[in-house]
């Protein structure tokens, strides 16, 4: 094993132990760094001091010119993920007094402003109203509770799927959730969301601890009890995504709706109503305000209304 390979392994262990990164994050860093180390090996580079700007420049050219299995180039944001992983690795080396290229000398490629898709208030109403067409009562109650909760809390779909019945109390409009980076934040249920969740749980006859579970449309609770299946499995993020797409179609919403669309809609709704950006950052669980700022360009409508209301009044 080369020197760089050994240091990469130590870096990944550092992410796991000291930084408490998720397995998926570590897997991604491993993938990105493996690509760089393979390239460095081709250039006969095997130690940290040999990593220079010219090597990084050639690596980024190789990334930009590479093609995937479908013959498409790597997206610029994906290329930046590779560079971010490399910079983190170099910072780790510097922190441990290992001579190498300073991470701050590597700049990320400038990308176009991220476009966020969200639902207007009328579209949110149509999405939730579409649930009424579901003939099975327990599924109808569950799906309404899911939609109401997503829009009310701005939860990530993985966070929603992991909720337990004990965590979401029937008499409380708030509850803690563990998000990215193992960080805990408080989210809030609107009154309509709380009622929808309570109504759903009131009709549950199983013993599962999961807040949202799978239900078979044509199987009664008594039949499940007889089969020993009175602890249905929690819904997966993929299942929740399918549920949302189903009601978007029924509601006549042309946009490509995902659970994250409702998270975007939650943030946009707050900002358009005048919420402070820092408060929205806290509720979304963003570690950096920069991430939350992707929503600010969506509030131009409110700024336009303020301009129309106040600008030039004294000069007329």
Catalytic residues: 156, 180, 260, 263, 286, 295
Taking alpha carbons only, the member of 158, 39, 54 closest to residue 101 is 54
Render the burial of 75-99: b for 16+ CB within 10 Å, e for the rest. Answer: eeeebbbbbbbbbbbbebbbeeeee
The answer to whether 189 touches 151, Cβ cutoff 8 Å, is: no
First to last CA, the chain: 77
Q: Is the dihedral of CA 141, 146, 151, 152 positive or negative?
A: positive
How far apart are alpha carbons 202 and 217 in whole angstroms?
A: 18
* 3-state SS, one letter per residue, for 233-295: CECCHHHHHHHHHHHHHHCCCCCCCCHHHHHHHHHHHHHHCCCCHHHHHHHHCCCCHHHHHHH
Cα distances (angstroms) measured from residue 138 to each of 25, 161, 196, 232: 36, 17, 12, 13
How far apart are alpha carbons 34 and 180 in whole angstroms?
A: 24
Bridge-partner residues for 178, per DSSP? 184
């Amino acid at each position: 094993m080369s020197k760089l390979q050994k240091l990469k392994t130590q870096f990944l262990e550092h992410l796991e132990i000291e930084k408490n990164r998720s397995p998926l994050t570590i897997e991604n860093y491993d993938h990105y760094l493996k690509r760089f180390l393979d390239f460095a090996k081709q250039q006969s580079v095997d130690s940290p001091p040999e990593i220079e700007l010219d090597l990084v420049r050639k690596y980024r050219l190789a990334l930009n010119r590479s093609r995937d299995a479908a013959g498409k180039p790597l997206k610029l944001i994906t290329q930046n993920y590779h560079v971010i992983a490399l910079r983190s690795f170099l910072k780790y080396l510097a922190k441990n007094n290992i001579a190498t290229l300073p991470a701050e000398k590597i700049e990320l490629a400038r990308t176009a402003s991220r476009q966020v898709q969200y639902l207007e208030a009328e579209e949110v109403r149509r999405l939730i109203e579409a649930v009424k067409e579901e003939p099975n009562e327990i599924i109808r109650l569950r799906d309404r509770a899911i939609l109401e909760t997503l829009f009310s809390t701005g939860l990530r779909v993985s966070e929603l799927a992991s909720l337990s019945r004990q965590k979401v109390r029937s008499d409380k409009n708030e509850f803690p959730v563990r998000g990215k980076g193992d960080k805990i934040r408080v989210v809030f249920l609107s009154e309509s969301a709380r009622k929808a969740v309570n109504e759903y749980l009131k009709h549950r006859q199983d013993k599962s601890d999961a807040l949202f579970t799978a239900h078979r449309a044509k199987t009664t609770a008594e039949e499940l009890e007889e089969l020993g299946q009175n602890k249905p499995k929690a819904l997966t993020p993929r299942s929740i995504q399918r549920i949302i797409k189903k009601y978007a179609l029924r509601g006549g919403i042309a946009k490509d709706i995902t659970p994250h669309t409702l998270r975007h809609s939650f943030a946009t709704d707050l900002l358009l109503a005048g919420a402070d950006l820092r408060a929205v950052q806290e509720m979304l669980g963003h570690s950096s305000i920069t991430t939350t700022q992707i929503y600010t360009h969506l509030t131009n409508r409110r700024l336009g209304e303020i301009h129309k209301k106040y600008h030039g009044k004294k000069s007329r």
